[in-house]
Amino acid sequence: MYKLIGRYASPSVRRVAIAMTLQELPFELHIASPLLDPSAIVPFNPIGRVPVLVLPDGVRLVESSAILDTLQGLVSPELRLLPDYGDDRTKILQVSAIMSTATEKAIIGSYEHIKRPPEKFHEPYHAATLAQVRAALEMVEATLSGGRYCVGDTFSLADISVAVGWRFLRYAAADIASSQTFEKIEALSRRCEQMPAFIACGPETY
Tens of pLDDT, residue by residue over 108-131, are: 887 766 667 777 777 888 899 999
Query: pLDDT value at position 152?
Result: 85
Query: pLDDT value at position 16?
Result: 98
- pLDDT per residue over 136-178, tens digit each? 999 999 999 777 899 988 999 999 999 999 999 999 999 999 9
Instruction: Put residue 6 in one of left, alpha, beta given phi > 0 → left and psi -120 to 50 → alpha.
Output: left
| Mean per-residue pLDDT, 83-107 | 96
**Statement: 2-78 belongs to CATH 3.40.50.10900:** no
Query: pLDDT value at position 118?
Result: 74
- Enumerate the domain spans of the chain: 2-78, 87-195
Domain 87-195 architecture: Up-down Bundle (1.20)
Tell me the pTM. 0.94
Of the candidates 52, 45, 62, the one whose C-alpha atom is nearest the C-alpha of residue 7 is 52
